[in-house]
């Protein structure tokens, strides 16, 4: 198994890896040296993942060790794109008496560097490969196969909206989309209830079956295997679970923007003030690198004023937080894992997308799956500051009144459907 080496793609693949290895399939999970080091540090070198049928293979990603991987996406994507020969070299070298020969590669969108190999794993956004012609269209896109609800140009991967066609990530996506029809199977981390009847099967082309296999974290979580914890690149602060114990059911809003999104200090100040004005208890994940290169600063006295109802952590055990009875809403960047984890736990979302597929995920949570709302007409472009009033209004709509009740009811339905999707 070869993930793109960031948290949001390591998590689903390592969960799938464990589902397969617990059924006797021997899995070699390819980590870059950087992600392996982060994992080891976060788990205090306590490797709870390796078993007799699961082992890591660590390869260099070609960047100097001290280079920020997430602070320069274009540089990182280019390095990963060139990993093919290094991967091949290390795979061949790793064969030994204990490691059976490789029979199949499971990888994902944006990993065409593995494409010499036979099998592919695609995320939902792979459907965008079929959208090349419509990508700049100033109209609703209805030409998609598989009964997909019509898409808007703003639903496209954010990289496709670059105005400069020489943009590295734009070119990277175009290049990668050409590989989407390769592979023998398409595995999609979704479940039937979320998709129109033919949507997943529409991803099968050239006779390769497409299967909905998600949510892949859920069977492990239900069996008490907290894979996300051991695969975490940052140490999860578990003290927040105890803090949640002291709050009323569904009273806390959980705030997190995943592992990559950044916000300016001006924006963080508005967010802090919006949370404060909303008067709801909050658990806020403020990553060390959330403000890019500079340390995050919060309004003076904010932590003191909110200390009875607010907690800030650097990184949380997200799935356990979302499954905690005190949590009633999630202010999220709508990364696909966060959406799936929230839906599976029945938690309504207030979407504030940042990049990539998050705009589509946010709109579908609101318009199609009806378990989310957005910031209603607010421009969420990263160069525009969302005001404290807009944030307060969104939080109140998510947490109070008839809309909140409707969302929670829908949350319960989706939770039930996600649990039903877990093989018995």
Residues that bind ligand UDP (CB under 6 A): 7-8, 11, 228, 232, 236, 256, 258-260, 285, 315-316, 318-319, 335-338, 341
Tokens of 92: 């061949």
Three-state SS at 7: helix
DSSP for residue 31: E
With CA atoms as reference, report the closest residue to 362 among 278, 258, 292.
Answer: 258
Tell me the CA distances in angstroms from 166 to 153, 177, 250, 286, 322, one per residue in order: 20, 16, 47, 33, 40
Give the C-alpha separation, 136 to 316, whole Å: 38
- Closest distance of CB 220 from ligand UDP, Å: 12
With CA atoms as reference, report the closest residue to 285 among 327, 305, 314.
Answer: 314
Give the C-alpha separation, 105 to 116, whole Å: 10
**How many CB atoms neighbour CB 266 within 10 A?**
11
Tell me the CA distances in angstroms from 350 to 1, 214, 243, 265, one per residue in order: 33, 22, 22, 21
- Closest distance of CB 322 from ligand UDP, Å: 8
Task: Find out whether 327 and 245 touch, Cβ atoms under 8 Å.
Answer: no
Closer of 91 and 227 to ligand UDP (Cβ): 227
- Closest distance of CB 373 from ligand UDP, Å: 18
- Closest distance of CB 31 from ligand UDP, Å: 16
- Closest distance of CB 52 from ligand UDP, Å: 26
Closer of 214 and 335 to ligand UDP (Cβ): 335
Closer of 212 and 255 to ligand UDP (Cβ): 255
Per the listing, tokens 């909110």 go with: 306
- Closest distance of CB 250 from ligand UDP, Å: 20
With CA atoms as reference, report the closest residue to 63 among 73, 55, 54.
Answer: 73
Closer of 218 and 399 to ligand UDP (Cβ): 218
- Closest distance of CB 227 from ligand UDP, Å: 10
- DSSP element (H, E) containing 411: helix 401-420
- Closest distance of CB 228 from ligand UDP, Å: 5
Closer of 139 and 242 to ligand UDP (Cβ): 242
Closer of 7 and 278 to ligand UDP (Cβ): 7
- Closest distance of CB 121 from ligand UDP, Å: 15
DSSP for residue 139: S
- Closest distance of CB 123 from ligand UDP, Å: 10
Closer of 126 and 338 to ligand UDP (Cβ): 338
Closer of 35 and 134 to ligand UDP (Cβ): 35
Per the listing, tokens 């378990």 go with: 371
- Closest distance of CB 367 from ligand UDP, Å: 20
DSSP for residue 133: G
Give the C-alpha separation, 296 to 420, whole Å: 41
Tokens of 246: 């002291």
Question: DSSP H helical segments within 191-324, as ranges?
Answer: 217-222, 227-230, 239-245, 265-278, 302-305, 318-322
Closer of 79 and 260 to ligand UDP (Cβ): 260
Give the residue at shortest CB distance from ligand UDP.
Answer: 8
Closer of 177 and 232 to ligand UDP (Cβ): 232
**How many CB atoms neighbour CB 358 within 10 A?**
25
Q: Are strands 349-351 and 327-332 parallel, antiparallel or unpaired?
A: parallel
Closer of 112 and 259 to ligand UDP (Cβ): 259
């Amino acid at each position: 198994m070869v993930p793109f080496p960031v948290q949001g793609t390591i998590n689903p693949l390592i969960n799938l890896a464990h589902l397969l290895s617990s059924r006797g399939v021997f899995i070699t999970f390819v980590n870059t040296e950087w992600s392996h080091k982060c994992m080891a540090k976060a788990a205090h070198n306590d490797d709870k993942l390796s078993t007799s049928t699961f082992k890591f293979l660590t390869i260099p990603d070609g960047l100097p060790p001290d280079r920020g991987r997430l602070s320069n996406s274009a540089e990182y994507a280019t390095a990963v794109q060139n990993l093919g020969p290094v991967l091949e070299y290390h795979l061949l070298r790793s064969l030994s008496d204990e490691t059976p020969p490789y029979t199949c590669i499971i990888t994902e969108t944006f990993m065409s560097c593995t494409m010499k190999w036979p099998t592919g794993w695609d995320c939902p956004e792979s459907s965008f490969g079929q959208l090349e012609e419509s990508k700049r269209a100033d109209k609703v896109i209805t030409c998609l196969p598989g009964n997909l609800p019509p898409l808007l140009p703003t639903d496209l991967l954010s990289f496709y909206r670059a105005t400069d066609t020489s943009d590295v990530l734009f070119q990277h996506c175009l290049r990668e989309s050409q590989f989407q029809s390769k592979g023998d199977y398409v595995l999609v981390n979704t479940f039937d209830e979320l998709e129109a009847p033919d949507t997943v099967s529409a991803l099968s082309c050239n006779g390769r079956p497409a299967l909905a296999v998600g949510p892949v974290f859920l069977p492990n979580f239900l069996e008490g295997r907290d894979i996300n914890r051991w695969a975490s690149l940052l140490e999860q602060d578990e003290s927040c679970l105890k803090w949640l114990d002291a709050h009323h059911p569904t009273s806390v809003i959980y705030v997190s923007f995943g592992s990559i999104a950044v916000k300016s200090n001006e924006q963080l100040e508005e967010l802090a003030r919006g949370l404060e004005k909303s008067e709801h208890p909050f658990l806020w994940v403020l990553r060390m690198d959330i403000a890019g290169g500079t340390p995050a600063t919060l309004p003076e006295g904010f932590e003191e004023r909110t200390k009875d109802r607010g907690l800030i952590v650097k990184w949380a055990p997200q799935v356990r937080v979302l499954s905690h009875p005190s949590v009633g809403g999630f202010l999220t960047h709508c990364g696909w894992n966060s959406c799936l984890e929230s839906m599976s736990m029945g938690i309504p979302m207030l979407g504030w997308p940042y990049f990539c597929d998050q705009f589509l995920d946010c709109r579908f949570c609101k318009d199609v799956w009806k378990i989310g709302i957005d910031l209603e007409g607010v421009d969420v472009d990263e160069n525009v500051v969302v005001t404290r009033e807009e944030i307060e209004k969104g939080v109140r709509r998510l947490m109070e009144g008839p809309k909140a009740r409707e969302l929670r009811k829908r949350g319960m339905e989706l939770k039930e459907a996600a649990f039903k999707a877990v093989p018995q």
